């Protein structure tokens, strides 16, 4: 496949898989980056590998970056994952500076590989209130990327693509289907059961279920 290279942050979840499928459809060659941050829901790493293969990524790097050393989140410390529903405010599943860290790593790979486009599946509508999913953050990061890199200061500018930013979950599912995303391979749950099944009650499970219900289709991963 010809076309420009793009680094796609791929967790194996619904949003990142949709973004990767959209990038592929629109002509980018995929460099898929998955961060193994020793997250509670490490099962998503296996799903990311399957998605990367299904979408024909030219390379898929799973980079170890153990954020349990920092803690500060229900995903990286011994803090219970909330199961009472999506509530206002920033929840304890927020991982401190996660998207800043992940995008910085993606930027490093992009500059080394000659890619100037980064894709991330952030969304500011049906989301858990994380500050690093907002348009203000993405604009600030893109400005930093172009001020902090050799390529950027020489005029070969980076762009951070967020095609899901203004979509609700039902809209994301519609976009995923239109792009041929392998939704059956995706994983969203923050707190899997001992049997390796989605818990059905965490914020991520609830938002996913809401999206499929509003889209009027069954979740192919269940």
Helix, strand or coil, per DSSP, at residue 35 = strand
Give the pLDDT confidence score for residue 129 in this predicted structure: 81
From 7-16, 72-81, 124-133, the region with the lowest mean pLDDT: 124-133
The pair phi, psi for residue 139, each rounded to 5°, is: -60, -40
Give the pLDDT confidence score for residue 88 in this predicted structure: 78
d(CA 115, CA 217): 36
| pLDDT value at 31 more than 90 | yes
Quick one: 5-215 is in which CATH superfamily? HUPs (3.40.50.620)
Give the pLDDT confidence score for residue 126 in this predicted structure: 64
Contact 109, 33 (CB under 8 A): yes
User: Per-residue pLDDT averaged across 102-111, rounded?
Assistant: 98
Res. 89 pLDDT band, cuts 50 70 90? confident
User: Per-residue pLDDT averaged across 16-43, rounded?
Assistant: 97
The pair phi, psi for residue 29, each rounded to 5°, is: -90, 135
């Amino acid at each position: 496949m010809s076309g420009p290279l793009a680094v796609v942050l791929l967790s194996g979840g619904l949003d990142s898989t949709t973004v990767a499928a959209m990038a592929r459809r629109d002509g980018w060659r995929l460099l898929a980056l998955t961060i193994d941050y020793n997250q509670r829901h490490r099962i998503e790493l296996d799903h990311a590998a399957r998605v990367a293969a299904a979408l024909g990524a030219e390379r898929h790097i799973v980079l170890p970056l153990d954020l349990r050393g920092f803690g500060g989140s229900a995903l990286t410390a011994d803090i219970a994952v909330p199961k009472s529903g999506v509530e206002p405010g920033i929840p304890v599943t927020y991982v401190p500076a996660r998207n800043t860290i992940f995008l910085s790593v993606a930027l490093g790979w992009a500059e080394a590989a000659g890619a100037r486009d980064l894709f991330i599946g952030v969304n500011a509508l049906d989301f858990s209130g994380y500050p690093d999913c907002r348009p203000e953050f993405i604009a600030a990061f893109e400005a930093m990327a172009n001020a902090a890199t050799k390529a950027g200061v020489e005029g070969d500018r980076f762009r951070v693509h967020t095609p899901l930013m203004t979509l609700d979950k039902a809209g994301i599912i519609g976009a995923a289907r239109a792009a041929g995303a392998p939704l059956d391979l995706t994983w969203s749950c923050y707190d899997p059961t001992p049997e390796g099944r989605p818990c059905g009650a965490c914020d991520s499970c609830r938002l996913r279920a809401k999206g499929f219900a509003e889209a009027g289709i069954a979740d192919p991963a269940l």
